[in-house]
Structure 1
């Protein structure tokens, strides 16, 4: 049998249960976002930044090659973001292709360079932690495009 004093506890218990359900909901949503949604979004965003970074770098390399000269020397600075998805990375050559190497193996980018036939070869690499420079030099067999790190210039 209930006493008349029990009625005063009912609203307090009801509000405590409501607050507990709200806290439980917030914890569940936060856990779901931090374990599934946000990391997936960061990877997609990182891939897009990697693609744009490499496309921009390829454009700068192609612009550095003089349009008609066979015996020219040119030098251009290339701006690279220091990190992609929170980590440093490297850009290297693979023939006439630029390759972005990232510690996260899922963040890979490749960009084929559109260079004239008078370019004999493309060589070198960049680190995102150092200034990046493109230098085009003449050689006996044609032009050589070199990716140089800040300390190599």
Structure 2
């Protein structure tokens, strides 16, 4: 084993192999701790954390859709109640149309992935790659909107453009 060293006890022989015992004990302790952390991490990331991420992402998607719907409905121009006087003249004109543009802030990603919000026939729809995230909301608009379907992308700067004229409303979701 090792070379002999003098011992304080007469007749006993000591070797240098005793110095290995504390090191081996510490290595076993470290191994047990690493095994515990690995087991705990596997259990958490294998089951609990993904379910939690999906639940949180579903809530964020619902709030995003609600906020987008509120931004659109609050951007609808009001109907003129009385004739307006054109500035700089004494002429009274009746306003027959109005346009509103409003920037809408949306999260860049939900659950780490980009998404889209579509508007068609008075309904907002959240499209997301993960099946747990999504939804539909019918908007409470004064009249049924006309026009073609439009889409917001989450990574773009999003603007809603609403035009009111004598035929009704036109809602358009624009990416800048």
Same fold, judged at TM 0.5 (above): yes
More deviation, 68-77/107-116: 68-77
Q: Does 2:92 match 1:98? A: no
By how many angstroms is 1:94 displaced? 3.4
What SS class does the counterpart of residue 73 from structure 1 fall into? strand
Which structure is richer in relative contact order (CA contacts within 8 A, separation 6 or more)? 1
Question: 2:136 matched to 1:110?
Answer: yes
Matched residue, 2:107 = 81
Q: Report what 1:66 is aligned to.
A: 77
Larger Rg: 2
Assess if the C-alpha contact under 8 Å between 1:127 and 1:149 holds in 2.
Answer: yes
Using the size of structure 1 for normalisation, the TM-score is 0.81
CA contact (8 A) 2:123 2:139 kept: yes
Instruction: Report if the CA contact (8 A) 1:71-1:143 is conserved.
Output: no
How many positions carry a matched residue from both structures?
147
Over the aligned positions, Cα root-mean-square deviation in angstroms equals: 2.5
For the pair 1:121 / 2:146, whether they are aligned, the reply is yes
Aligned counterparts of 1:19 and 1:4: Cα–Cα separation in 2: 31
Instruction: For structure 1, list consecutive stretches of 5 or more residues without a partner in the other structure.
Output: none
Distance 1:120 1:27 in 2: 56
Q: Which structure has greater helix proportion?
A: 1
Measured at CA, do residues 14 and 142 of structure 1 come closer, stay the same or move farther in structure 2, by a change above 3 Å? same
